[in-house]
Structure 1
Amino acid sequence: MLFTLCIVSAIAFLAMHREIRRAICQALGRHLLQRVAKRKADIYEKVGVVPKIARTVGFFHPYCNAGGGGERVLWTAVKSVQTDFPNVISLIYTGDLVSSEEALRRVKTTFEIDLDSSKVIFVPLKLRFLVSPAVWPRFTLLGQSLGSMVLGLEAICRFAPDIFIDTMGYAFTFVVVKAFLNIPVGAYVHYPTISSDMLKSLKEVSIVSKVKGAYWRWFAKIYSQAGRHADFVMTNSSWTQNHIASLWGKDINLSVVFPPCNTSELDKVDILRPRESSLLYLAQYRPEKNHKDLLHSFAFYIQQHPESPAKLLLVGSARNETDLKLVESLKGLAQKLKVIERVEFIVDAPWPKVVEYLGTCSIGVNYMWNEHFGIGVVEYMAAGLIPVVNNSGGPKFDIVIPWIGKPTGFHASTVAEYAEAFQKALTLSTQEQQEMRVNARSACARFGEHVFMRDFGDVFAKLLREVYAKD
């Protein structure tokens, strides 16, 4: 019913004459900006910023209180704005209906980010359910995209900003913001909603698969059109950038801004002390993390080198009962592969315990195909582990790359290649190990919080200049 209503409403609006649609949008946009002008002036006076140059930036992040890597990006971006642009007020469009004090307290405890609360305004969104996949059991991509447009309209109706930045990947909001407000739009993209890899992976052998393929290609086309409404786009990795460029066009203002990785605690780990012959895999217990293939690789390695004392530690969080069932199935597989005595399963370990593992294991493993970035790999390298990563995505193109002409780890794709990489990493001489650990840690400087703030600030300055140019 909801999907049908959204489709009918969209068709009815699009059926109007183009000039009529434009006139309606512009009239509503002017009303929204006029309505919020007095509110902005009161805020500027209360906070003590310079009214003539003061502006508001709206961060569209419906799940701002989740506490994950995407939220670290959001709050570090807000910190960048507060640090370099003191006359800018940050609006947070969110469906997390908690008090601002509670939300900022969690930012402090989770990310160790201190913010000026007087320059952060939370704008509550009541229609967040429209972007939940549970609401759209069929045609999920399209449903969530239409839902995000409605949610984006709610956001600007509640508080029209001077700059709009999406940090969660809702590209269809750009269309709404441009149509009604025609203000500068920025985006930080963690991964594309649909990618060329998804399109290539679909084998169109049946009627159903052919229909699905046509649907995906059509969606990719409208997703591309929506994305082109952004003025400046930041991506978290070369892999994401390449996919966005292929979808949205190479003529858009596109730049890689690596996500902020807080490795200050890991930098204190002594990377030159002897390590246990253990492999560590930090990853949530989800199917796409490929724990099963890792167990097969480890079993193959042990089969080839039974004299090895190596052990495998699987450390990750479990979100729900489904994830816990996956853990049990992995234990069964380890038993079947006859490596259960060498594998340890750790669920929801506290961070201090994770740091302990990072300080004692020798090898850090990444097994996910086409991971868009790979913060866990950065943590391996900062703590002095030698990374063995999948030969794809961010780990291949951005993280485990030569540093000053010297290797920082190993790449692998197949079960046999991983087993071979484990053997190479574990049999390096002491000097070779130490050199690679030092190189890997040095390479992590590219992913520091200060680097993100600098690069994000450069893009934000361009958005701000566009605002001033229009005034």
Structure 2
Amino acid sequence: MIPALKTALFACCLRLSSSPTLGTVAFFHPFADGGGGGERVLWWHFFNTTCISLTLRAHLTVPPPQVVPLANRDLLLPGRYPRFTMIGQALGSVRVAWQGLRQLLPEVWVDTTGWAFPYPLARLAGARVAAYVHYPTISTDMLQRVWDRDALYNNSEEVAACPLKSLAKLAYYHAFALLYGAMGAFAQVVMVNSSWTRRHIVDLWWQWNKPARVYPPCDTRALQALPLDRRLKRVYLLSIAQFRPEKDHAMQLRALAAARRKAAGMHDGGGEAVLAAHLKLVGSCRNAEDEQRIQQLKDLAEELGIGDRVDFCVNASFDELRALLADAVAGLHTMVDEHFGISVVEYMAAGVVPIAHDSAGPREDIVLPEGGPPGSGGGGGGGGGQPTGYLCSTLQQYADAIIEVLGMEQLERMRVAAAARRRAAQFSDQRFQKELMACMEDVLPLGRSRQPTNLLSASQ
């Protein structure tokens, strides 16, 4: 399969420009207008850092970015492929990349999406390839879930319930993982955003050198200025996440309902705080599917009897988000295997106690006790050191954490919030810029030709 793919890619390259445009850096990010954490890293930090570096290296003025429109980016949407979704999207990514490369072939091609299948195309066309992987297209955790026949967003209940279908899907996943790993070998520089992502890329990609872990920058200076002393005039929990299935907002609603049921039997200030609390769901709405998902969540809240306790803040501005973070007591996060978790860092920087899922980025990199060993967990998770938050995986754990945080004495909550803020300060712009440029040093243009043009592959 791989020789045939290389032949097809070589044939595509014959239709591209004869040689790369020297001094040009291109960022492949077809959904640059998505509004997620990856897009924020791309626009505000990755792109700006590279521009500054090029200016210093070449002693030239970097012109404004050029946007290459990609009219066929819908080929990357999972909804186009009811079956064999990953392979369909993978082939779609090659077509999308080819369209961009036909318009302008750069000297350096930087993938910030995680789609590895265009790497051979870019390399054979003459570009140097760097990758910053936020989330692997397939992970060993996904393979394990299919093996264990666990139903989740990437493994339907129909497949999980049938041994034969599970076996067939497992074979498909292993074949895809093998091909995905081979594509990763074409990247000359590989960076990842978290310990969890690095572990999976090490397991899957054919690379001699271990990928560099470069934490995404979180510009939290405005949030760190917020007071830690919350007067609790309005008691509420906050959730910041796009309205996508994997974010599991339904778990948050069920956890609040479970906490309220338990609090109803309590006769203290903590129980009263839980019963008085609201949950504010903050996220972007991208399309009709998101609108339908929001309506389903509203229906679920009514079904659970908490419709009057849940507020939806859709497409909130940064000023609105900052105001909400200023008074929130705790921040909920329920995504399984969140590769990093910028929203969790934002909670911590703002002095909001995080209640995050006990997996991936939050567990391995973010919600670590102050002074304790990595992986020892946050509040309620054991280990030494001052807790910086809570890590949960079950409905009951989330409900108990909500009750504990809302019932906390003010001074104790401020100790946790202060430790969390100090932890969040480690994910700074300065650290990102230093580590990024150390990795990119060998592949960036040297300014030996015309002025560098910064290209962002996106859709207008």
TM-score (norm 2): 0.80
**The one of 231, 241, 244 aligned to 1:286:** 244
Partner of 1:64: 32
Alpha-carbon distance between aligned partners in 2 of 1:210 and 1:131, rounded to the nearest angstrom = 26
Aligned alpha-carbon RMSD (Å):
3.0
Distance 1:125 1:117, change over 3 A: farther
Contact 1:81/1:88, CA 8 A, preserved across alignment: no
**The one of 197, 222, 225 aligned to 1:240:** 197
Partner of 2:331: 364
1:250-269 alignment runs, 5 A limit? 251-269=208-226
Partner of 2:320: 353
1:215 equivalent to 2:208? Answer: no
Shift of 1:230: 1.0
Shift of 1:254: 0.5
Partner of 1:45: none
Shift of 1:224: 0.5
TM-score (norm 1): 0.78
Query: Whose radius of gyration is greater, 1 or 2?
Result: 1
- Whichever residue aligns with residue 174 of structure 1, its letter is Y
Shift of 1:466: 10
Q: Give the 3-state SS of the residue equivalent to 2:118 in structure 1.
A: helix
1:38-187 alignment runs, 5 A limit? 40=22, 55-75=23-43, 76-86=45-55, 118=63, 120-181=65-126, 183-187=127-131
Deviations 1:2-38 (A, max 9, x none): xxxxx9xx9867679xxxx97x799888x722xx56x
Q: Give the 3-state SS of the residue equivalent to 1:308 in structure 2.
A: helix
Shift of 1:440: 1.0
Q: Give the 3-state SS of the residue equivalent to 1:265 in structure 2.
A: helix
Contact 1:162/1:184, CA 8 A, preserved across alignment: yes
Partner of 1:301: 259
Distance 1:12 1:376, change over 3 A: closer
Distance 1:225 1:250, change over 3 A: closer
Contact 2:108/2:445, CA 8 A, preserved across alignment: no
Shift of 1:360: 0.9
Shift of 1:363: 0.8
Shift of 1:222: 0.2
Alpha-carbon distance between aligned partners in 2 of 1:125 and 1:425, rounded to the nearest angstrom = 47
Contact 1:165/1:188, CA 8 A, preserved across alignment: yes
Counting helix residues as a fraction of each chain, which structure ranks higher? 1
Alpha-carbon distance between aligned partners in 2 of 1:290 and 1:296, rounded to the nearest angstrom = 10
Contact 1:366/1:390, CA 8 A, preserved across alignment: yes
Q: Which has the higher contact order (CA 8 A, sep 6+)?
A: 2
- Structure 1: give runs of 5+ residues left out of the alignment: 1-6, 41-54, 90-115
Partner of 1:227: 184
Q: Give the 3-state SS of the residue equivalent to 1:213 in structure 2.
A: helix
Partner of 1:106: none
Q: Give the 3-state SS of the residue equivalent to 2:138 in structure 1.
A: coil
Contact 1:280/1:361, CA 8 A, preserved across alignment: yes
Paired-residue identity, %:
36
Alpha-carbon distance between aligned partners in 2 of 1:336 and 1:304, rounded to the nearest angstrom = 18
Alpha-carbon distance between aligned partners in 1 of 2:314 and 2:64, rounded to the nearest angstrom = 38
- Structure 2: give runs of 5+ residues left out of the alignment: 150-159, 265-270, 372-384, 449-460
Shift of 1:425: 1.8
